Amino acid sequence: MAKFSIFLVIVFFSIFGLVGGFIMPDTSQNASVGAMYSVFKSEIAKLNNQLTNFRIDFANIKADNDKLKATFHDLTTNYANLRTELTNASNENKNLEQEISTINTDMNRIEQEQVSMITEFGTVKQEFNTLGSQYKELVESYDNLTSSQGQGHSNSQGHSPNIIAPRVGFSVNTPDGTFSRDGALNFTKANYNDDDAFNFSSGQFECKVPGLYFFSSTLVREPGGYPESFCYLMINGHALAYLGGYGYNATIGHPSGTATMVTHMNYGDTVYVGMCGVISQIGEYSNLNGFLIDAD
């Protein structure tokens, strides 16, 4: 804009300079007024033309200037937009960088957790293996304790660990009036017999699971020639309790006797009903019972 103002000033001063030159009196030259006038007129006409041309040029130049101004404005606006976009893009980059950094941190944490999980898994696996072998040992101990294959009297103190208390119980009856080996009354029927705890071949209970036991036996005398039948509850071959079925009249009634005992049994200890008298009159409801109260 400033350039164009200067341009206009120059134009106007040029015009007035020319006119001033002709108006000033000139003593060196003398022409006729008519000739001077016509020269003057034609000069003014020329100047008018020039002024018109200048005006047209000025209008053109001003239009160009307006266009340039508009273009400049557009460029400025575009530049501002670009700047904003650039700022936005760089902000977005920063955000993305932060997100990437956060993701990296998370990934590192996850990796660490994975590592510690793998370690923990190893530990748990080891513990599991240990538990597995302990379980195997327990099963073996249990099998050893309940196995019918005896190991002699090795557990004489009876303090093997009470891991899984096995169940031991028997209830037998109906003696057949004979003795088994070692003079044990020969019971023939079992009401209950865990793992053949009572051995019908030997006529006795042989301890496989050391512990505290309860035993009971009832003897019923049948009518006959004698008023009494009797036996003893035998523990390891010792008569420890008496069983007698005595009736005043031998030919009538079913007198009975009962013996009970609570005793600790070691591995291989035996219990049976023996040292009997008048076996032929011992009735079928006579019995022998025993069970483990508490294993060692």
Ligand X SMILES: *[C@@H]1O[C@H](CO)[C@@H](O)[C@H](O)[C@H]1NC(C)=O
The residues of the shown chain that bind ligand X, judged by CB under 6 A, are 30, 81, 84-85, 88, 137, 140-141, 144, 148, 151, 176, 178-181, 186, 188, 196, 199-202, 206, 249, 251-252
**CA torsion through residues 137, 141, 147, 149, sign:** positive
Token code pair at residue 290: 């025993």
Q: Among residues 50 and 155, whose Cβ is nearest to ligand X?
A: 155
Token digits of residue 32: 């006729």
Closest distance between ligand X and the C-beta of residue 8, in Å?
40
108, amino acid identity: N
- In the bound state with ligand X, the residue whose beta carbon lies nearer, of 15 and 250, is 250
Nearest approach, Cβ of 200 to ligand X (angstroms)? 5
Closer Cβ to ligand X, 119 or 147, answer by number: 147
Q: How far is the CB of 247 from ligand X (least distance, A)?
A: 9
Contact present, 146 and 138 (Cβ < 8 Å): no
Closest to ligand X by CB, 56 vs 75, is 75
Nearer to ligand X, 65 or 202 (CB): 202
Least distance (Å) between residue 162 CB and ligand X: 13
- Min. distance of Cβ 243 from ligand X in angstroms? 19
Is residue 286 within 8 Å of 186, Cβ to Cβ?
no
